[in-house]
Amino acid sequence: MSTADKAQLRVGMVGYAFMGAAHSQAWRTVNRVFDLPAQVTMVAVAGRDRGKVTEAAERLGWAEAVTDWRELVSRDDIDLIDICTPGDSHETIALAALAAGKHVLCEKPLANNVAEARAMAQAAATARASGVRTMCGFNYRRVPAVALLRRLVEEGRLGDIRHVRATYLQDWITDPQFPLVWRLQKDLAGSGALGDIGAHIVDLTQYVTGQRIAGVSALTETFVKRRPLPSASAGLSASPAGDEAGAQTATGEVTVDDAALFLARLDGGAVATYEATRFATGRKNGLRVEINGSLGSAAFDLERLNELEFYDATVPATRQGFTRILVTEPDHPYLSAWWPPGHIIGYEHSFTHEMRDLIEAVAGGTDPRPSFDDALQVQLVLDAVERSAAAGSAWTTVDPA
Ligand code: SOE
């Protein structure tokens, strides 16, 4: 279909930091790689600081910059609002956008607590009746090796799932002098490692196994209780504010977890362990998942995202062993549009695939996944983890959605 014949999907994005840049890359790229039923127009990006949002619009490829997200929501020339802000504003922006009849893509975790997530899921259900689509941005579902892992589970190649072992390990706040950025403040981020990276492994494992976490026993820890105040609202590579001599002047309290660990039971009978921390010295973005089933096992490691380890217990013992599948074949999920076999892809492609699936759903009139309901269920797991940790690791059932 030629570009001129295609429906348009006119996008407005709120926020332009780490996730805003990742999403922009995907919006810029997606129609150039995939043959899609709708053509994206990057209409405008919103941010509070006039100078910074103007610079971001130019750098990231947005036609316009505005300083109030409400303007995006009220405009007739925008069809979809992409929310890339800290969690404390997700609910307000999403509800306003849905009320205005806009499709919504919201970064994860969906909200800062269950009440907000429920309100968003409810609003999404109401809006769905008039054809409005919503999706939460758990991008790692769209890594081809992860999608292949799900396919193997669906095909029964692993048999009955017995064990799920998931870790998401980073080390960017190990230094006690690393400043108190928004991701370390509960009122802005909702929780710490738990919501920021733990949410990813909760979603990813539930997605690949098709099972939901039913109950947990958890512990959380905050190793560094106070940190220097940041010089500005800063992201993962912030530097502390200091006086002219460089000496640190003020500190603030860290109000989120630095690490969260939990045992879980899944509703399909599997047992699981989860660990999310930003204090795993040397681990930069170490998301690893291993699934053991009655017929085989599979393991994925984000730092080797073009590979999937697979063990087939049904072949003769003399030929058993973990196989490293290089996930670059055209028949692997998402990959026919990219490079010849063996030519690997990277982190940013997961976002391009996310936009591809979202555009196909919006243009095709179907509901994209993960839905706000799926993301609410992740939020309920995070909530159960916090309640269990507060109760000294007591067994805690995940509330029903
Ligand atoms: C976004 O998906 C995100 O979870 C960030 O918020 C984390 O900080 C990053 O390290 C992983 O991706």
The tens digit of pLDDT for each residue in 52-101 reads 999 999 999 999 999 999 999 999 999 999 999 999 999 999 999 999 99
User: Does the structure show a pLDDT above 80 at 344?
Assistant: yes
The preferred substitution site among 85, 105, 196 for testing ligand 1, maximizing ligand atoms within 8 Å of CB, is: 196
Q: What is the ipTM of this complex?
A: 0.93
Find the 196 Cα to ligand 1 centroid distance in Å. Answer: 6
Find the 138 Cα to ligand 1 centroid distance in Å. Answer: 9
Q: Mean pLDDT, the chain, as a whole number? A: 96
87, β-bridge pairs:
none
Residue 140: per-residue pLDDT: 98
Query: Distance between CA atoms of 284 and 281, rounded to whole angstroms?
Result: 8
Same fold? 3-139, 142-396? no
C-beta 19 within 6 A of ligand 1: yes
Query: Distance between CA atoms of 102 and 184, rounded to whole angstroms?
Result: 31
Nearest to 175 by CA among 80, 276, 274, 248: 248
| DSSP secondary structure letter of residue 210 | -
Domain ranges of the chain: 3-139, 142-396
Closest ligand 1 atom, CA of 138?
A: 2
Residue 372: per-residue pLDDT: 98
Residue 248: per-residue pLDDT: 57
- Report the top-level CATH class of 142-396: alpha beta
Find the 107 Cα to ligand 1 centroid distance in Å. Answer: 9
Tell me the whole-structure pTM to 2 decimals.
Answer: 0.96
Task: Give mean pLDDT, residues 368-385.
Answer: 98
**Three-state SS for 366?**
coil
The preferred substitution site among 197, 283, 353 for testing ligand 1, maximizing ligand atoms within 8 Å of CB, is: 197
C-beta 196 within 6 A of ligand 1: yes
Closest ligand 1 atom, CA of 137?
A: 2
**CATH architecture of the domain with range 3-139:** 3-Layer(aba) Sandwich (3.40)
C-beta 197 within 6 A of ligand 1: yes
